Amino acid sequence: MRKKPATVRIARWSATHPWSAIGLWVVFVALCLLLGGAAGSHKISDEESGVGESGRAGRITAAGDFPEKPEENVLITAEDGRTFDAGAAREAAQDLSRRMRSLPEVEDVAPAVPSPDGRALLVTVTMKGDTENADQRVQPLLDAGAATERAHDGLRIDEVGTGSTAKGLGEALGEDFVKAELISLPLTLLILLVVFGAVIAAGVPVVLALSCVGAATGLSALASHVLPETSAVSSIILLMGMAVGVDYSLFYLKREREERQKGATPLDAVEIAAKTSGHTVVVSGTTVIVAMAGLYLADEATFASLATGSIIVVAVAVLASLTVLPALLAKLGRWVDRPRVPFLWRLTMRSGDSKLWPVLLRPALVRPVLTLVVSVGALLLLALPALDMRLKQPGSDDLSRDIPVVRAMDRLTGAFPGKGTVHQVAVRAPADRADEVGAALDGLLERTAGDDLFAHDRTPVIRASADGRVHTVQVGTPHSPRSDGARDSLELLRTWVPQAMEGVPGAESAVGGKVAQGVDFTGHLKDRMPWVVGFVLLLTFVTMAGIFRSPAVALSAILLNLLSAAASFGVLVAIFQHTWAEDLLDFHSSGAVVSWLPLFLFVVLFGLSMDYHVFVVSRIREAARKGANVRDAVREGITRSAGVVTSAAIVMVGVFAIFGTLSMVEFKQLGVGLAAAILLDAVVIRVFVLPALMIALGRWNWWPTGPAAGRRDRPAVGPDDTLRLRPVPAGRPPSAAREHGHVPSGSAPRPRPRDHRPASWRR
């Protein structure tokens, strides 16, 4: 007797020991959260995240070990933005300074500085402590500013700085994510109620997905001490965890219910679901993990962090589907279909073939070549805008102006341009060359003073490290970070700095800052993208060819996913590089796509699209193995899988679309891009392109081994097979013929084929 697949053995143990499996899962999740919370997370530092020259500038600056103090900029302007009483403003500045100095959180308050146009005053406040937790200690300063504003009519007081900006943005974005969670959970439950028509069946995938997110969050915190994490990881874990966690449970639960409807006992139904959907979950999860691993080839700390978080949450979701889900289904038994929602229950339990899907599939079944040409042409048309894709790093320009601290930043940089876009010049040289470095930087600043590309509202200050080996200076520009002027000033500075340091032997110089980081990051991605894309395509081909033993299936999977990814990129560019959708999605177009998004989106889409592709093609192959021709196999496979694939796609689109409502443009673009891609993949690719392509390929779909090859566990003779019997040698008696498996022609009826399936499956 052949050994059962690992998915079946694990599921059977969990189903026969449900309380043990459930208890182990609860302990696992609690342990992950406990250990992750105790260890904390290690965030990516500036020197770890930088690439190119800006990364080198960050490392040079870090080598200087400069004491970093949190700084707050308090801006005093007229309440109406125009009329300004200088005397009243000076009195308010003195009052503010007195209040600030009395606070235990404040170390120093600088004298008020007037703006170049004379319509604003700036008071710089230095806080005690480090910059990491300044946002937690800045509230007394904000209260002092608010009290000063109330005491002086006609004046407006804004505060922007290390702590206040982090606090303001953190609160706004935190509210966004809370809103997203509050919407996503009821929406997912509602969709699953429609899918299952029963409350418990709808709740199981959501509870399981949330437990996966919790466990992955704790494990990610532990992993951050090896690979530092970016602040976006928690959002990516939530996004991916809810999507794949619900989908994998949905695949499993749907198949288990289908087998129970056919008369299988709960235990047998779990085993069959483990053998079919459980295998699909393992393959799909492996494909997603392989695709996400390609991000490590980007050779950049942010992408490594995103890859690690995604891989962890997908692996946890696969583990949950194979272990605790069978235990829950076995323990619940038929109670999983309680309490029933009357109308929805009857709708989901309707017997008979679907009437909708044969109609939708008719073009592909009747005119496969024409359908293929038209549908592929439509997707290529959607992809056209992607040819004009422009990339940029997200910055303050991309933040919603509904956030108070963002409006305050605008007023501050309008009055004091040098506080806005800043280039960081860093120089490292032998300590005995410190005077020469200082003189060279003085000469550099004299050149910038005569150029309009640079800001002149304040005098740049040269800082030297304690050992005299590192010097830094910040050079401001009046142009916004995304403007041509900011990039032109960067290019000019990167030309002037090496010229200034030519006379200093052993000097190493670099120019960094936000603009430089964006330019270098985009250039780095363009260089690394071919490696990542090539890795994902190659590994996907090898994985799919290994599963289906068919190069045609593997190649078609790659081409179809490339097509849906290209179409989603076109949608992304059409929406976010133009202004027509600004009011609809509540964003301000920067004329570009966030630079890290296309590569991350490509990898995620390739992984998630494989979920559906593996599931659908597996069902088509099941039908082909029973002897159906290609057209009938495609019809049966897609029709039988349509319900679960459509349900899973709706869940994913719903979760992703919610991210399109967030304030940060990168998450808005990520949510819209993923939602568009999954929608196109589930509708256009699965309904038109895939069936038309497989019918057009015909028998070449399964070349060279055929649909049944490569299956170690398939029956020697299936229930629908016809016995092929050897002729009986002449003179052999009937008894000997029967004994040796020979039946003379016309002598007796053909025996029924033996059912070689395990006893637990013969239900």
Given a contact cutoff of 8 angstroms between Cβ atoms, the answer to whether 558 and 539 are in contact is no
Quickly state the pLDDT bin for 48 (edges 50, 70, 90). low
Give the mean model confidence (pLDDT) for residues 562-566. 91
Counting residues of the chain whose pLDDT is more than 70, the rounded percentage is: 90
- Residue 351: the pLDDT is 54
The count of other CB atoms within 10 Å of the CB of residue 598 is 22
User: Other CB atoms closer than 10 Å to residue 579's CB: what's the count?
Assistant: 11
Distance CA 440, CA 169 (A): 39
Q: DSSP label at 36?
A: H
The structure tokens listed for 156 are 């407006």
**What tens digit of pLDDT does each residue of 254-278 get?**
888 888 888 888 888 888 888 888 8
**And the tokens for 326?**
């069978």
Does position 595 have pLDDT exceeding 60, yes or no? Answer: yes
Contact indicator for 654, 191 with CB cutoff of 8 Å: yes
What whole-number distance in Å separates Cα of residue 231 and Cα of residue 273?
Answer: 38
What single-letter amino acid sits at 313?
V
Q: Are 334 and 278 in contact (CB under 8 A)?
A: no
Mean pLDDT computed over 162-186? 80
Phi, then psi, of 696 in degrees rounded to 5? -65, -35
Mean pLDDT of 349-359: 69
pLDDT in tens, 694-705: 999 888 888 877
Amino acid at 194: V
Q: Which domains does the chain have, with CATH numbers?
A: 1-40+197-350 (1.20.1640.10), 52-64+403-519 (3.30.70.100), 71-169 (3.30.70.1430)
Q: What is the pLDDT of residues 428-475, one digit of tens each?
A: 999 999 999 999 999 999 999 888 899 887 788 899 999 999 999 999
Determine the longest span between alpha carbons in the chain, in angstroms.
Answer: 126
Q: Structure tokens of 91?
A: 């009195």
Report which of 170, 168, 159 is spatially closest to residue 100, judged by C-alpha positions.
159
